[in-house]
Amino acid sequence: MATVNERRLLSRRALLGTAAASAIASVSVAIAPSAQARPAADPLVAANPTPTPVRLTLPAPTGPHPLGTASFHLVDQARVDPWQDSRPARELMIQLWYPALAADGHPAAPWMSPGAAAFFEQGQGIPSGTLLLPVTHAHLAAPVDRGRCGRPVLLYSPGLRSDRSLGTALIEELASHGYLVVAIDHTYDADQVEFPGGRVETFAITGDIDNALIAKALAVRTADTRFVLDQLTALNSGHNTDVGRQTLPPTLAGAFDLSRVGILGHSLGGATAAAAIRADRRLRAGVNLDGSLLPPVTAGTERPFLLFGSDPGPGSEDPSWDQFWASQYGWKRELALIGCTHISFTDLETLLPQAAPILGLTPSQVTQAIGTLDPHRAIHAQRDYVRAFFDLHLRHLDNHLLQRPSPRYPQIRFLR
């Protein structure tokens, strides 16, 4: 019988989760109980994968709006970088996804920037050209459709040793339905972050992944989130906060309705959502996608919060969610996505099955990584329930999806 620590290692809400990129090449679902370092993953790529390159694709967003995107290089001069004290200031890359007025003349954005993609492929042992990474449905620097009074804003925080690219399928869906989504790369706890000019900063956290380190990471990420909110306020006023003063997308100023801001994240990003909403009242609603929590994050707020987890199999209970539930006195709901795993809440839910034949992965290995639920149904449910939550609490639009189980979504279980 598994010990408590072994069950935590395999928990559907393992705090750090799989490095999102790593799972394409080395489908490892386990990570980080308190006081244990991340185990090395066993590579599952065949020795001689099929050389014919395959272009991976992302599911198309379903909303009425064409999409634009732009990346920004931000520097917080008030902080020495907490992971690299040789850096005199904290540097971040963020990516804005938004409804666009038109896409003509603006090229489609890559899923991952070229320099980051090269590090990703090299780090995972994927021969260059074997897999052609996706192209997104968003267009670089397309003019922003501000709507009548500005758009509600969502911040997205990825898991540890992940990066902003891995949330693209969900982010695009939200933006296509009228949200401005800001994806944050937390430098040095991400696998790789490319800055303008081609400089790539990689994961730089050393030592055991224990509760003290996670508490520090959450504090860093919360400070990152609050800094980004400050920068959005400046951008909304027409100030160019990008370090290189890149040309901003047309009609960006005034596009942010900063009275309606939510936050969501996967794994450690989900814990970041819970921590940041406690720290900053500008955040009005939050979603945790399968991330464990630590005190004091387990204490809730009066603002709405959704716990959305993977399949709650035997022995996978997470007491931190029970603690959060007991102290959350605002609107709350806990859902489970049946037949899915921790990494099902990333783009790997759709990319891994496509890549499997090229990488020599067996169907059982793919199932072990992403679960038994059909990827289309998994992504469809995630998109609809997350959007229903933010529509309800930021737009006051209620489609009743969060009130009770729906026969249209048998893969969604209402836990409480």
60-92 confidence digits (pLDDT tens): 999 999 999 999 999 999 999 999 989 999 999
Question: Which of 263, 172, 175 is CA-nearest to residue 224?
Answer: 263
Within a domain: 25: yes
pLDDT score, position 318:
85
Classify residue 148: in a domain, yes or no: yes
- Residue 372: closest CA among 345, 394, 402, 340: 340
Q: Is residue 48 part of a domain?
A: no
The pLDDT > 90 percentage for the chain reads 76
Q: Is the pLDDT of residue 53 over 80?
A: yes
Confidence of residue 10 (pLDDT cuts 50, 70, 90): very low
Distances (CA, A) of 161 to 76, 122, 164, 191, 280: 22, 15, 10, 5, 25
Sign of the dihedral defined by the CA atoms of residues 89, 93, 164, 158, in that order: positive
**Tell me, what's the pLDDT at 316?**
65
Q: Which helix (H) or strand (E) holds 4?
A: helix 4-9
Strand 108-110 to 67-76 pairing: unpaired
- CATH code: domain of residue 242: 3.40.50.1820
CA distances 154 to 21, 185, 386, Å, are: 23, 14, 11
Whether pLDDT at 19 is above 70: no
Domain assignment present for residue 41? The answer is no
| Alpha helices (H) along 177-258 | 211-236
25 confidence band (pLDDT: 50, 70, 90) = very low
Peptide bond into 107 cis (omega under 30): no
Q: Which pLDDT value is given to residue 314?
A: 66
How far lies 80's CA from each of 141, 228, 267, 321, in Å? 31, 16, 26, 33
167-221 pLDDT, tens per residue? Answer: 999 999 999 999 999 999 999 999 999 999 999 999 999 888 899 999 999 999 9
pLDDT value at position 49? 47
Could you say which DSSP state residue 308 is in?
E
Q: pLDDT tens, 100-158?
A: 998 889 999 999 999 999 998 887 767 777 889 999 999 999 999 999 999 999 999 99
Judged against a pLDDT cut of 70, whether residue 293 lies above it is answered with: yes
72 in any annotated domain: yes
Three-class SS of residue 318? Answer: coil
- The identity of residue 210, as a single letter, is D
| Residue 81, token pair as written in the block | 């970088």
Give the range among 42-51, 317-326, 398-407 with minimum mean pLDDT. 42-51
Q: What is the predicted pLDDT for the residue at 76?
A: 97
Number of domains in the chain: 1
Containing structural domain, residue 400: 4-34+54-414
Q: Looking at this protein, which amino acid is placed at residue 241? A: T
In a domain? residue 161: yes
pLDDT of the residue at 188:
97
- Residues 94 and 100: their CA atoms lie apart, in Å, by 18
The structure tokens listed for 247 are 């040309």
What's the pLDDT tens digit per position in 231-240?
999 999 999 9
Q: Is 76 within 8 Å of 241 (Cβ atoms)?
A: no
For the chain, give the mean pLDDT: 87
The pLDDT of residue 16 is 37
Q: Does 44 fall in a domain? A: no
In a domain, 43, yes or no: no
The answer to whether residue 21 scores a pLDDT higher than 50 is no
